[in-house]
Chains A and B, each alone.
Chain A
Amino acid sequence: MANPILEFIGVSKKYGGNYALEDVSFEVRPGEIHAILGENGAGKSTLVKIVSGQVQPSAGTLMFKGTRVTVHTPARSRQMGVAMVQQELSVFDHLSIAENVFPDHRFAGSAGLINWNLLYRAAQGACEAAGFSADVRAPASALSPGRKQLVEILRCVHSNPSVLVLDEPTSGLNTHETAMLVSLLLSLRDRGVTILYISHRIPEVLALSNRITILRDGRKRATVENDGLTESSLVQMMVGRDLVSLYDPTATKQNGSGAASLAVEGLSGYGSVHDVDLTLGEGEILGVFGLEGSGSFELAETIVGLRRRRSGRLRVGTTVLRRWQPRKLLSLGVQYLHNNRKDAGLYLALDVSENAEAPRLRRLSSHGLLNRRKLSEVVRSSIQRFEIKARPRHQRVVNLSGGNQQKLMMSLCLDGVPKCFVVCEPTRGVDVGSKAQIHGFLRNVAAEGGSIMMFSSELPEIIALCTRVLIMRAGGVVGQLVGNDITDENVMARAAGASN
């Protein structure tokens, strides 16, 4: 067996009194794709930061190519040949795609001037090899978030690393882009690049990796060969319990009754939504799926009144609206969960209590003044009901794990049962435990007569929860699938425009 390229020996990291990582040892072999799997808060990100030099371990040793190394700074880690794809996007929006792929001066001539032709040709080649076509002279701002992420990955790939580290690389990618990334990584591995791959998405990890290290509560639970593993066995190692299969096909799906709780008629926005009609039945979970750029999230924002409309009407119960804002819809019982909690839906710099108060300000006040007692009761019970691990008055939301942030954001929408719940990416970047919980919350809403319109780019989630799916392409609804017709193939075929 080849000597390990990267080896962790008894690595610990302590923050305050708590171990983020405790005595973790494992090795990464050259030329393998090694996945790190674990719930949020299991210590995955800390591990990655140690490799990339962003944090120093409290104890333990890191070996690189057989010698003991101390990685003080990210620059040192780059020098060693470790390239890191961060969770957050760091694309230069105003520079061309080509300059983003090759930000160094690789194509500089003798006078230090850039050889643009060479640069563009190389970038074009890089993009095509990765399977996507784009005008590399165009500014990166023109790309969808998923494509930006791919550009960022290409940049790391082309710095010729010996170890490539990817931290949740697919959290912003749709199914199609994920497939592109998977084939790109497999071809890199075949060229001998070692890849350390951190992800929540078990199917990807199974499809990609040679070996998998599972972390739980800061400790290593196991490092296993990816041979004959199943999703449920991995989940069990991750969470230390048997989950009902993530997307339990036997879990009851809610069939909506006939009455429409919300109807959209002839809705058009500016640019991305064209003439959409749809009806949502009481107690129904309606899925809306579209690939990146299809306008599905724009549709959601237009429906709840966050975007300008060109035309269209909205019917909520028996009320017909021609003009509306989120505030108006809230008073009619329509709640909205935003697709990106970093963008909106929470107040990251404030603490948990202050967040929990925001949507309830009017309800928790008398004579225009806040009712402190009522307030702390509501906050406490809501935090308990949604099983959010946080100290309401001590912890800024930005410091919570993704799963807890997402549950908090959802708890802000679900005081009672909303008449209608417009949900976008309900489980974006959350661990499997939280994911199951969130799906449980959604099923409850439907079971109690609320209707849900779910916009998600995760097809398995839609298939598991929805009885009816609308497919969007180019800003319009291009198809509908019901019941057993809702399959991967059927949905993708319509979303990608392969058949109709």
Chain B
Amino acid sequence: MSWRVLPEHLTDDKPRLRSDKLGYARAMDAGYFLTSLAQSYGIIFVTLVTFVVFSVSRKAFLSPENIYGLFYGVSLDLYAITGFTLLIIMGEIDLSVGSVYALSGTTAGYLATRGFPTEFGVLIGIVIGFAVGAGNGLLVVKLKINSIILTIGTLLTVRGLSDVVAATMAGNRYAEGFRAIARARFLSVNWTVPAMFLVVLVLEFVLSRSTSARVLYYIGNNGKSALIHGMRTDATRIGAFVLSGGLAALSGVLVASRITIADVDMGRHLEFTILTAAVIGGASLFGGRGRIVNSVVAYLFLAMLVNGLIMFGVEPVFQQVIVGVILVAVVAADTQLNKEAG
């Protein structure tokens, strides 16, 4: 009765790789172990190496102002990255983040500059983000539209609106009160930097332990299974789109507050940079895999790379070339590793 016997070694429950994140499926063989490891920690390692290389070769890179500037920049975009990664984990995508970021930020600044209270401007900016997110979510879920196509549509629409608002501002400075938001200090640094560490820590905990967050991974792996198993798949999907819009808006408001002057190019191509970061960070475009902390670190890596290359005299126009090449290389490597691991 061979099938009745359950040999001891088959029920051994000791994880060899102590990572309990959903989506990092563990396996016994070395190839799979390495893939898992690469997906979990690879980006952190690469970022550290890049940091060391630039630090050793360019003195200006290691200056406190430069390093702080990098972290400060990421701490503002953090919220957009977070929302985007949540959707990727669920197997959906929101390409309108850059446009929402621009429209919300510019509108908030515009309203504040036209004499409305700063809080009102910020509120309207964020509400716009939630509204666009809700529109995306409802259309994707209720009409079953592919989210790539749909959000390219919203990307264009919202960018158009944002251009109108930015044109109205015509290169004027935002109001003093509005510009103070991103500049507020906490323990002699901009508050957004400590906030970033706190937010990432909390999200890491929530995503690994909270049942409602794990639903995202299950939906990303197989939405129909999740539905059969009693998860609220539609509501979760719509909710994640709403959140993505709102968080992109929050980042947009912070960045607008930082840049002082209304900028038509604000957030342009941001969606591709974040997408690149998420993929470098180990997220799968097919869903079911991804980590916020990895996306954020990967985003920092991209910022650092661009920053360091400028110091090497690489023209800014080449930045896009470099980011593009990295994206292609990482996707190729990831596909290859996964294939070997079976």
A395:B28 contact, CB within 8 angstroms: yes
Is A417 an interface position by the 8 A CB rule? no
* Total interface residues in chain B, CB < 8 Å: 40
In the complex, A376→B210 CA distance in Å? 16
Which residues in B have their C-beta under 8 angstroms from that of A376?
13
In the complex, A347→B232 CA distance in Å? 16
Nearest CB of chain B from residue A356's CB, rounded to whole Å: 11
* Total interface residues in chain A, CB < 8 Å: 53
B225:A368 contact, CB within 8 angstroms: no
Is B322 an interface position by the 8 A CB rule? no
List the A residue with the shortest CB-CB distance to B215: A361
Is A309 an interface position by the 8 A CB rule? no
Partner of B6, one of A239, A344, A368, A387: A387
Which residues in B have their C-beta under 8 angstroms from that of A304?
228
B230:A370 contact, CB within 8 angstroms: no
Is B268 an interface position by the 8 A CB rule? no
Which residues in B have their C-beta under 8 angstroms from that of A392?
11, 13
In the complex, A132→B215 CA distance in Å? 45
A358:B229 contact, CB within 8 angstroms: yes
Q: A350-B22, A350-B23, A396-B27 are in contact. Are A390 and B209 (CB under 8 A)?
A: no
In the complex, A239→B3 CA distance in Å? 9
Contact with B along A322-363 (1 / 0, CB 8 A): 000111001100001010000111111111001001110110
Nearest CB of chain B from residue A16's CB, rounded to whole Å: 6
Q: A326-B228, A384-B6 are in contact. Are A370 and B214 (CB under 8 A)?
A: yes
Is B288 an interface position by the 8 A CB rule? yes
B210:A368 contact, CB within 8 angstroms: yes
B27:A395 contact, CB within 8 angstroms: yes
List the B residue with the shortest CB-CB distance to A241: B1
Partner of B211, one of A241, A345, A349, A368: A368
List the A residue with the shortest CB-CB distance to B9: A391
Nearest CB of chain A from residue B285's CB, rounded to whole Å: 14
Q: A369-B209, A387-B6, A399-B342 are in contact. Are A350 and B221 (CB under 8 A)?
A: yes
Q: A368-B212, A393-B13 are in contact. Are A412 and B26 (CB under 8 A)?
A: no
A361:B211 contact, CB within 8 angstroms: yes
Which residues in B have their C-beta under 8 angstroms from that of A94?
none
Of A239, A240, A361, A412, most buried by chain B (CB within 10 Å of CB) is A361
Partner of A351, one of B25, B228, B229: B25
B27:A348 contact, CB within 8 angstroms: no
Contact with A along B176-213 (1 / 0, CB 8 A): 00000000000000000000000000000000011110
Nearest CB of chain A from residue B19's CB, rounded to whole Å: 10
In the complex, A487→B183 CA distance in Å? 81
Contact with A along B1-23 (1 / 0, CB 8 A): 11110100011111110000011
A396:B25 contact, CB within 8 angstroms: yes
B226:A358 contact, CB within 8 angstroms: yes
Q: A370-B214, A434-B3 are in contact. Are A346 and B222 (CB under 8 A)?
A: yes
In the complex, A376→B234 CA distance in Å? 29
A 24-43 contacts with B by CB, 8 A: 39
Is A444 an interface position by the 8 A CB rule? no
A326:B227 contact, CB within 8 angstroms: yes
B218:A347 contact, CB within 8 angstroms: yes
In the complex, A349→B12 CA distance in Å? 20
Which residues in B have their C-beta under 8 angstroms from that of A39?
3
A344:B209 contact, CB within 8 angstroms: no
A358:B225 contact, CB within 8 angstroms: yes
Is A312 an interface position by the 8 A CB rule? no
Of A239, A348, A394, A437, most buried by chain B (CB within 10 Å of CB) is A394
Is A141 an interface position by the 8 A CB rule? no
A240:B211 contact, CB within 8 angstroms: no
| Count, A-B residue pairs, CB within 8 A | 124
In the complex, A241→B4 CA distance in Å? 12
Which residues in B have their C-beta under 8 angstroms from that of A338?
224-225, 228
In the complex, A393→B342 CA distance in Å? 17
Q: A347-B225, A358-B225 are in contact. Are A433 and B11 (CB under 8 A)?
A: no
B 213-272 contacts with A by CB, 8 A: 214-215, 217-218, 221-222, 224-232
In the complex, A389→B3 CA distance in Å? 8
B214:A347 contact, CB within 8 angstroms: no
B6:A327 contact, CB within 8 angstroms: no
Q: A346-B222, A358-B225 are in contact. Are A391 and B12 (CB under 8 A)?
A: yes
B 25-57 contacts with A by CB, 8 A: 25-29
Nearest CB of chain A from residue B206's CB, rounded to whole Å: 9
In the complex, A368→B214 CA distance in Å? 11
Contact with B along A369-395 (1 / 0, CB 8 A): 110000010001001100101111111
A344:B222 contact, CB within 8 angstroms: yes
A394:B3 contact, CB within 8 angstroms: no
Partner of A389, one of B10, B12, B16, B227: B10
B15:A393 contact, CB within 8 angstroms: yes
B211:A369 contact, CB within 8 angstroms: yes
Contact with A along B288-324 (1 / 0, CB 8 A): 1000000000000000000000000000000000000
Of A39, A325, A369, A399, most buried by chain B (CB within 10 Å of CB) is A369
A359:B230 contact, CB within 8 angstroms: yes
In the complex, A241→B5 CA distance in Å? 14
In the complex, A240→B229 CA distance in Å? 37
Which residues in B have their C-beta under 8 angstroms from that of A325?
227
List the B residue with the shortest CB-CB distance to A376: B13
Which residues in B have their C-beta under 8 angstroms from that of A365?
211
Is A298 an interface position by the 8 A CB rule? no
List the B residue with the shortest CB-CB distance to A217: B2
Which residues in B have their C-beta under 8 angstroms from that of A369?
209-211
Contact with B along A296-314 (1 / 0, CB 8 A): 0000000010100000000
B11:A387 contact, CB within 8 angstroms: no
Which residues in A have their C-beta under 8 angstroms from that of B221?
347-350
Which residues in A have their C-beta under 8 angstroms from that of B4?
387
Nearest CB of chain A from residue B35's CB, rounded to whole Å: 12
In the complex, A347→B28 CA distance in Å? 19
In the complex, A376→B22 CA distance in Å? 15
B27:A394 contact, CB within 8 angstroms: yes
Please list the 10 inter-chain residue pairs (A to B) with the smallest Cβ-Cβ separation, ordered nearest first. Answer: A344-B224, A359-B229, A347-B221, A330-B230, A327-B230, A365-B211, A361-B211, A433-B3, A396-B25, A369-B209
Given contacts A359-B230, A387-B4, A389-B6, 9 further A-B pairs with CB under 8 A are A327-B227, A327-B231, A345-B228, A348-B221, A350-B22, A358-B225, A362-B230, A383-B11, A399-B342
Report A's interface with B, CB cutoff 8 A. 16, 39, 217, 239-241, 304, 306, 325-327, 330-331, 336, 338, 343-351, 354, 357-359, 361-362, 364-365, 368-370, 376, 380, 383-384, 387, 389-396, 399, 412, 433-434, 437
